[in-house]
């Protein structure tokens, strides 16, 4: 079948630029309240599962690392764990620690990024600029260790592709100390700010029973009182070899989700320190000759929740079937439960609390239910969200 791209039939004319439903998220409103949500997933669909079937087992990590830019360490890890389970391979202990360190560093910079974006959406521009400035040293560290700020390409079937560079522990610990101090200041500022309390508490609540029905994972679930974390429930890498805590809140609102992410950043900093201190000497990978027929699953806790991969091998060089599930796939539909009934000014921050990718958040459109006209785009929603924060600030 020759895939031909066809130009749209509807001409642009005197029509609202967004009228052709080009939006990823469409929110239907009655007056100021959201009554329904529709999502068009096909913008980002690249057919990764089919591409996997034509790549060799050791080429697939490079592909899945690019499913999502900011969970790019956990996707290859989950995939590689599935393949190792099929072949009955156990990577060397040093490799487990290196995998843990890289995944936790990614969690740190991903959560700080989220804090910045949340600030941006409610009008705290200083928090945005500041958070993104303070995540840069983590990216520099990752570049020193793996060669790239994102898309590390560090994991392979049997272990890691490269070892940590010499002397990295002398560089990493001062940076972790610095970030911890700054995050401490930010966390106290968030927890004590009455305007943030008024703005975020009780907003976008995801009740526990809805969280279970929508099968959510990660901070979205932990903020609604569901104490699940793949790192503790089904330990992988070195998570059962270092001490750490699962962070849970009960309220399920945006504030609870922010608190969970802030607390997890501290846990991740502690984990990296402990993993660096306990890092054993030894080889970084085992040799893998072939992958026998079989099937297995691998899962990892990405910053957004559980990444789940299923791999089936028929004894050849390529996977016979590869299923990749990103955490946002189950978290984003829960937006329906947490956003219906909310006002338009709270839509952006409720969506951001689920932590979908930034580009998906940009493509939000609000449709007036009776006329089916797109009345607000991302810019307008951003403006409404910031205006609400200003009104609260003046009220107090």
Partner 1 sequence: MNWKIWSLKKSPWVFHVNTGACNNCDIEVVNCLTPKFDVERFGVTLVGSPRHADALLVTGVVTAQAAPRLIQAYQQASKPCVVFAIGACACGTGIFRTGYHVVGPVDKIIKEVDPNAIIAFVPGCPPKPEAMISGIVKMLNAL
Partner 2 sequence: MSPDELFEKLNTIKSSLTLFDQPLDNRIYLHCESENCFEINKFLFQEVGARFVIATAIDCEQYFEILYHYSYDQTGCVINLKCFIRDHENPQVESITPLIPGAEWIEREMHDLEGIDFNNHPCLERLILSDDWPEGEYPLRKDWTHEKEI
Contacts with partner 2 by CB under 8 A lie at 1-3, 5-6, 40-42, 45, 47, 49-50, 85, 212-217, 228, 233-235, 296-297, 299, 306, 308, 310, 312, 321, 323, 325, 329-330, 333-334
Query: Residue 144 interacts with partner 1 (CB under 8 A)?
Result: no
Cα separation, 378 vs 23, in Å, equals 10
Q: Of the two residues 8 and 395, which places its CB atom closer to partner 1 in the complex?
A: 8
**Residue 214 interacting partner from partner 1, partner 2, none (CB closer than 5 to 8 Å by kind):** partner 2
**Cβ atoms of 298 and 309 closer than 8 Å:** yes
**Half-sphere exposure for 325 (CA within 13 Å, toward CB):** 19
Q: Of the two residues 46 and 391, which places its CB atom closer to partner 2 in the complex?
A: 46
**Residue 22 interacting partner from partner 1, partner 2, none (CB closer than 5 to 8 Å by kind):** partner 1
List the interface residues with partner 1, window 113-132 (CB under 8 A).
113, 128-130, 132
Give, rounded to a whole angstrom, the gap between the first and last alpha carbons of the chain: 63
**Residue 238 interacting partner from partner 2, partner 1, none (CB closer than 5 to 8 Å by kind):** none
Cα separation, 48 vs 133, in Å, equals 33
Q: Which x/- pattern over 64-103 shows residues binding partner 1 (rule: CB under 8 A)?
A: --xxxxx-x-------------------------------
**Residue 329 interacting partner from partner 2, partner 1, none (CB closer than 5 to 8 Å by kind):** partner 2
Local structure of 386: helix, strand or coil? helix
Q: What is the smallest separation between the CB atom of 376 and partner 2, expressed in angstroms?
A: 23
List the interface residues with partner 1, window 150-209 (CB under 8 A).
150-151
Local structure of 295: helix, strand or coil? strand
Q: Of the two residues 46 and 181, which places its CB atom closer to partner 1 in the complex?
A: 46
For residue 301, list its beta bridge partners. 306
Strand order across the 305-313 sheet: 294-302, 305-313, 319-325
Q: What is the smallest separation between the CB atom of 172 and partner 2, expressed in angstroms?
A: 30
335: Cβ contacts below 8 Å, ≥ 6 apart: 25, 37, 350, 351, 354
The DSSP secondary structure of 173-217, one letter per residue, reads HHHHHHHHHHHHHHHHHHHH-HHHHHHHTTSS---HHHHHHTT--
Positions in the binding site for partner 1 (CB under 8 A): 3, 5, 7-8, 12, 17, 20, 22, 40, 42-48, 50-51, 54, 62-63, 66-70, 72, 113, 128-130, 132-133, 136, 148-151, 357-359, 362-363, 377-379
């Amino acid at each position: 079948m020759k895939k031909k791209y066809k130009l749209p039939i509807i001409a642009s004319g005197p029509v609202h630029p967004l009228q052709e439903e080009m939006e990823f998220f469409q929110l239907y409103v009655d007056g100021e309240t959201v009554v329904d949500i529709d999502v068009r997933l096909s913008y980002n669909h690249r057919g990764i599962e089919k591409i996997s079937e034509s790549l060799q087992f050791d080429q697939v990590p490079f592909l899945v690392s690019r499913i999502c830019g900011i969970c790019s360490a956990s996707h290859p890890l989950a995939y590689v764990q599935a393949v190792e389970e099929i072949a009955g391979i156990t990577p060397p202990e040093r490799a487990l620690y290196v995998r843990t360190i890289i995944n936790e560093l990614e969690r740190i910079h991903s959560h700080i990024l989220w804090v910045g974006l949340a600030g941006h959406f409610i009008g705290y521009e200083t928090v945005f600029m500041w958070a993104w400035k303070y995540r840069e040293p983590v990216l520099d560290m990752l570049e020193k260790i793996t060669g790239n700020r994102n898309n590390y390409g560090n994991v392979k079937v049997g272990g890691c592709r490269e070892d940590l560079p010499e002397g990295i522990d002398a560089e990493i610990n001062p940076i972790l100390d610095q970030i911890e101090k700054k995050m401490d200041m930010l966390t106290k500022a968030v927890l004590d700010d009455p305007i943030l309390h008024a703005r975020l508490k009780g907003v976008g609540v995801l009740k526990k029973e809805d969280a279970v029905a929508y099968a959510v994972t990660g901070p979205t679930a932990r903020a609604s009182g569901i104490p699940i974390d793949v790192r503790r429930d089904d330990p992988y890498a070195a998570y059962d070899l270092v001490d750490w805590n699962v962070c849970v809140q009960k309220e399920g609102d945006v504030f609870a989700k922010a608190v969970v992410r802030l607390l997890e950043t501290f846990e991740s900093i502690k984990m990296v320190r402990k993993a660096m201190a306990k890092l054993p000497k030894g080889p970084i990978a085992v040799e893998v000759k072939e992958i026998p027929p079989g099937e297995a699953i691998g899962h990892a806790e990405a910053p957004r929740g559980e990444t789940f991969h299923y791999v089936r091998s028929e004894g050849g060089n390529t996977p016979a079937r590869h299923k990749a599930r990103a955490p946002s796939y189950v978290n984003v539909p829960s937006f329906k439960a947490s956003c219906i009934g909310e006002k338009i000014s709270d839509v952006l921050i409720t969506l951001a609390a689920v932590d979908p990718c930034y580009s998906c958040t940009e493509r939000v459109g609000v449709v007036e239910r009776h006329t089916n006209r797109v009345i607000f785009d991302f810019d307008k929603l951003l403006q409404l969200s910031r205006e609400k924060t200003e009104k609260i600030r003046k009220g107090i």
